[in-house]
Structure 1
Amino acid sequence: MTDTGKPVVGFVGVGLMGWGMAKNAVEKGYPLRVVAHRKREAVDDLVQRGAVECPSLAAMAAECDVIVLCVTGAPQVEASVAEIVTTARAGLTIIDSSTSEPDVTERLARELEARGITLIDAPLSRTPQHTWDGEATTYVGGPVETVEKWRPLLSTWANAVIPVNGPVGAAHALKLINNLVALGYAAIWAECYAMVQKVGADPAVFREIVTNSGMNCGNFQSFSKYAVERDAGAHRFTIVNGAKDLTYYNRLANRHGAATLMSDGALQTLKLGVAMGMGERYMPQIGDIVLALNDPEAER
């Protein structure tokens, strides 16, 4: 805790979502520590805004009251935690905003509790732009008193902080279910726009039809930006990350003995895109996967 009365915040993973989260935290008065990231531009920007760059995660952990993780997935979460615990003080809180696997989150929480460290899960919804603007949605698993303790920090990047009223790991489970909705719809839009092209219709007309129907939503509009205007950056979330998230969802479903009728189809679409070399493209571009199946000779 600093003289300002605000806890020292460490940030691991200042990528598409994490950059905006960290930017909001430091701009709203939280002492911020960051470590090197492949997105060097983000670290340099945060330092200019008042953050302090640390030489390693272990060095950062020694200075922090709370550390926020926003990394790719469960393996990166586990690797980060393994380094954090080498220097962390008892009383540290780790907030995992990654899209991770609930069973991993539950296990890490138990192991960290034995060290006097608290872990809560607070994954995000909405886009990097919403996060940058402080308008993300986050839902949080863990004891109510812990969620409320960190609500002011979470509120720097999220204007909707939703306690899930469940144990640690419950928010990560709901995140995976939420992502099935988003990614499942994206798979439907991909097939629809591919069929629009197959029958020789105008994709702009199809967008207008759906826009003026009960199926209009932000997901459809961001997806359509690419299908109609070729704007791939309308939703900056990669196909390979989508495949990872649905893989996690299917593991969760299998753990609970649940049917996976819809998620299986969406996952196979994304896995095919990865196999075709499209993994680093953004989700609105999955229409190209279906187009390639419809017309294998066409260039994408």
Structure 2
Amino acid sequence: MHLHLRRGVVKAVDGVSFEVHEGETLGIVGESGSGKTMTCLSILRLLPIHSDGRLDGSVKLDGEDLLQLSEEDMASRVRGPKVAMISQDPMTSLNPVYTVGDQVSGPFLYHKLVRTVREAMAAAAQGLRRVRIPSPERRLKNYPHQFSGGMRQRVVTAMAIACSPRLLIADEPTTALDVTIQVQIMNLLRSIQQDSKVGIILVTHDLSIVAGLCHRIAVMYAGRIIETGKVRDIYRNPQHPYTQALLQAIPHLGQKRSRLAAIPGQPPNLIDPPKGCRFAQRCPKRMSVCDDYPPATDLGDRHVVNCWLAAKQ
């Protein structure tokens, strides 16, 4: 994905490739600005306004390339019925001037899953009940400001799963929530997946959440996926220095440290990214060969890393 801005062309997502299977959760992790959200938006073809963005490659769902569909087909057949997204901030995801019932019933009416407004409201109440909001019929009449942050996230989740999508994108669904509510939202997503076998892409900074919910991890840095594999392989045997640094930065209960580990430096400018390894300027294991971009090295069991250290081994 390339975005055309006044100051230049931003290579926001570059050469990214991954797959998500039915009933599987893929966690996408990385620093802010690494391209996680833009990767997810590209699946839905929701590019930033006025960016004159360009998408290359293919996005295939059940064998159909979404990039070849018209905007009308994307709106009517894909966004909602096949692919849905839970956006980052539950505090701003809902329209404050409409009731929760009006907003949760919207997907049912837009995609003509019901015939009348009464049926849509009944379906909306069932949706709130599904995400474990008590007294759903009464809460339909409330406005977003009458809900807590965790309850708003449940409402947004109810809207996302209204049309029973094949793929659910959860873009940092717990960022603005406290730890107790985070656990509840993660348990909710796990329960929804068990009931519907929906595939989930979970975007997050929190590696502990990934460990508890995901089956596989894709680590992104500066618009590229640099390491991917099963959760146990990434946590037990990380191969890329960036992945190792992320894991070292996690505080562990019962382990005393004088200070937390940090990654020095800043990510590269994506208007003019380096030709070689994009982490090289911050990498403590940098070699001269890092001036060329490393090939993908398959370590077995779907564990793949883009690093010259792994390639030489």
Give the alignment's TM-score, normalised by structure 2: 0.28
Give the alignment's TM-score, normalised by structure 1: 0.29
Higher helix share: 1
Higher strand share: 2
Report 1 or 2 for greater relative contact order, CA contacts < 8 Å, sequence distance ≥ 6.
Answer: 2
